Amino acid sequence: MSFEETKQKAKSFFKRLMWILLLALVVFSGVYFFYRTYSVSEGTRTGLLFKISKKGKVFKTYEGQLQLGGTAIMNKESTFEFSVENAAIYEQIQNFEGKNVRLHYRELVDAFPWQGDTDYLVYKVEQVQ
């Protein structure tokens, strides 16, 4: 076997290896994205909206807190912390601050940092009379 043949085989091997690694990276990225955006549950929470803000050091996200209905005192167990992805929903929620609202949310397995600080993403809000 000559040096040129060995060189050609090595080149062919590394070319094939790069394609396999690229394909593995694409598959891994797709599975990872699906995992991070998979919705574990959907539901609603009702209570008094007492905080909504835009915050973050790198990713500016919309975060809020809701005092759950039926609780007299406010503690960690009686508050629901949530994130909002959409700026239009955030502006709508700002109008309901200090009022009783029903939040419709999706709970993700593990939200990306730019989606918010929590795994609860609110996508709809309505005022409760």
Span 48-90, pLDDT tens digits:
998 999 988 888 899 999 998 776 677 777 899 999 988 999 9
As beta bridge partners, residue 49 has: 66
Global confidence as pTM:
0.73
Whole-angstrom Cα distance, residue 125 to residue 100?
10
- How high is the pLDDT of residue 120? 93
Confidence class of residue 123 from pLDDT cuts 50, 70 and 90? very high
Q: Give the count of alpha carbons within 13 A of 70, CB side only.
A: 3
